[in-house]
Chain A
């Protein structure tokens, strides 16, 4: 079963605009990770935010986490055509190992 749900399911923007994707989850987590997947390819890890962190930056990426609302957002600033991909949030919970459960993804299209 899916733990996280991304919103929107699809997003189309012009190059240079910012893209915001949201993720909601159901149970308590240790951390939340965002991944990118180009069509037909494997997943690329983008950023991890721990449950005691509220915001994290990496290059053009900004991730926020609100554990009280069980939600996270991923902001991509100054988007590029190469950012076109599906983006997944994945929640990590305690269980003796890093069990990661993925949401259904947001499909982002950046129009040149």
Chain B
């Protein structure tokens, strides 16, 4: 397994710009999650996909955020009209439905800095 891959790893953007992050889960993992983590805090759940279906969205995911997983493989997280409060690390994770241990594997994260 190559693990969960995220890119870009770092992004600095001006307030008001749009940014997009990509996540490639572990192959054959049908479940994909996005989390957000700010300094000194634990990861906070944003959204969950099973295959291509987005089954749950956190209230943290405002209408400026949109996530897709068009073919049930990779996923994108887009933030429109970024604000300074969006500065955080965005973590993607994947797991395999039915896998006994239900272990969730995380990528290295994508750091966003809004200036």
What is the distance, in angstroms, from A95's C-beta to the closest C-beta of chain B?
Answer: 8
Q: How many residues of A contact B (CB 8 A)?
A: 27
Q: Does A48 contact B (CB under 8 A)?
A: yes
Q: Does B28 contact A (CB under 8 A)?
A: no
Please tell me if the beta carbons of B104 and A100 are within 8 angstroms of each other in the complex: yes
Interface residues of B in 55-106 (CB under 8 A from A): 55-56, 89, 91, 93, 95, 97, 101-106
* A-B CB pair tally, cutoff 8 Å: 64
Query: In the complex, which residue of chain A has the Cβ closest to the Cβ of B89?
Result: A40
Q: Does A42 contact B (CB under 8 A)?
A: yes
- A97-B31, A99-B48 known; A45+B103 contact, CB < 8 A: yes
Please tell me if the beta carbons of B55 and A2 are within 8 angstroms of each other in the complex: no
Query: In the complex, which residue of chain A has the Cβ closest to the Cβ of B3?
Result: A42
Please tell me if the beta carbons of A99 and B107 are within 8 angstroms of each other in the complex: no
Please tell me if the beta carbons of A88 and B42 are within 8 angstroms of each other in the complex: yes
**Interface readout for B102-115 with A: 1 if CB under 8 Å, 0 if not?**
11111111010000
Please tell me if the beta carbons of B102 and A31 are within 8 angstroms of each other in the complex: yes
What is the distance, in angstroms, from B11's C-beta to the closest C-beta of chain A?
Answer: 14
Q: Flag the segment in A11-19, A59-67, A71-79, A102-110 that touches B.
A: A102-110
- Bound CA span A103–B41, Å: 8
- Bound CA span A107–B44, Å: 18
Q: CB within 8 A of B41: which of A4, A33, A45, A104?
A: A104
- A97-B50, A99-B48, A104-B42 known; A48+B101 contact, CB < 8 A: yes
Residues of A within 8 A of B33 (CB): 100
Residues of A within 8 A of B (CB): 2, 4, 30-31, 33, 35, 40-45, 48, 88, 90, 92, 95-105
Q: List 15 A-B contacts (CB under 8 A).
A: A2-B42, A4-B42, A30-B102, A31-B102, A41-B108, A42-B106, A43-B93, A48-B103, A92-B102, A96-B55, A97-B48, A97-B97, A98-B104, A102-B35, A104-B41
5 pairs of A and B residues whose beta carbons are closest in the complex: A102-B42, A42-B108, A98-B102, A43-B106, A42-B106
